[in-house]
Chains A and B, each alone.
Chain A
Amino acid sequence: MLLIQDCVVPPPLHWPTPYGYETAVYLPIHWESDVMAASRQARQLAERLGFSRSAAYHIATAASELANNARLHAGGGWLYANALFDATGETVIGLELIVEDSGPGIADPELALTDGYSTGSGLGCGLPGVKRLMDAFSLEAVPSGGVRVRAIKWR
């Protein structure tokens, strides 16, 4: 079982070039078109990294879900998707999605991860759905007040 801390994750403060960089995608999310772009680019990245088609669709849906959350509940944020490598730095072992927003935060994270709970604009299965679609999932508050969601799909 691979643990998150065993993976080589690029330092979050230094983003690679936003576009055209092969193993990572960074997108600010403000508008609905950004959400679609996030979903599309996450899928393309997954396909480039050699994920199966169904895994790529899972990743695209998770990205769309998280980006939509950031837009609807927090007024925007950013999405960062990057490849995770093993210790040799050559083999891709997974894909990580990080979505951070600058909204008011989630009052009750436990509740937000409960099936069927919704503040109104969804089916109430967004976050728990992402949790099921991906292999590893974490939700944390960031000092700015927003929420950072990390989700990993192993290859």
Chain B
Amino acid sequence: MRIPILELERIVLVSIQVDLTDNDAMQFQSDLVERVAKIEALGVAIDITALDVVDSYMARVINDTANMVRLLGAEVVICGIQPFVALTLIEMGRGLLGADCAFNLAQALEILKRRIAKRGDTRFIEDEDV
């Protein structure tokens, strides 16, 4: 199953709604980095509201994806982690997710915009003014 990748100006939105198989995960990661590089995205929001079981494998996929995007030069925020997922992840050991998190997509976008502005990337701000 392919994960849809949406663009909102120069922010990329993805929502993971099902557990990813190995192939899905690789497909998703390559699709995402390709898109981010193509539009030179400034930020990426990864929404995992629909995931209710995140094991260490899934956590690694999300983590790796976030790091890949960061390497390209975009900001990343993960949003919508379910309370029970947070409980289980911490119980399992350490905060598995290295990226920043937000409650929902709206907050994630806020954080991304703020961070992009702080970074001094004026292209995005110009876009907004138009």
Q: Mark A79-121, 1 if CB is under 8 A from B, else 0.
A: 0000000000000000000000000000000000001000001
Q: Which of B22, B52, B56 contacts A57 (CB 8 A)?
A: B52
Which one of B54, B57, B88 has the highest number of Cβ atoms from chain A below 10 Å of its Cβ?
B57
| Interface mask (B88-103 → A, CB under 8 Å = 1, otherwise 0) | 1001111010000000
- Chain B, 78-126, CB within 8 A of any chain A CB: 84-85, 87-88, 91-94, 96
Q: Could you give, for residues 49-83 of chain B, a 1 whenever the CB lies within 8 Å of some chain A CB and a 0 otherwise?
A: 00011111101100100000000000000000000
- Contact assessment for A123 and B59 in the assembled complex, using a CB-CB cutoff below 8 Å: yes
Chain A interface (Cβ < 8 Å from any Cβ of B): 32-33, 35-36, 39-40, 43, 53-54, 57-58, 60-61, 64-65, 68, 72, 115, 121-126, 128-130, 132-133
Supplied contacts A68-B57, A123-B96, A129-B92, 6 more A-B pairs, CB within 8 Å? A40-B53, A43-B53, A54-B88, A64-B53, A64-B55, A123-B60
A and B contact pairs by CB, cutoff 8 A, 30 listed: A32-B19, A32-B21, A32-B22, A39-B53, A53-B84, A54-B88, A57-B53, A58-B87, A58-B88, A60-B53, A64-B53, A65-B55, A65-B56, A68-B57, A121-B57, A122-B57, A123-B59, A123-B63, A123-B96, A125-B56, A125-B92, A125-B93, A125-B94, A125-B96, A126-B55, A128-B93, A129-B91, A132-B91, A132-B93, A133-B88
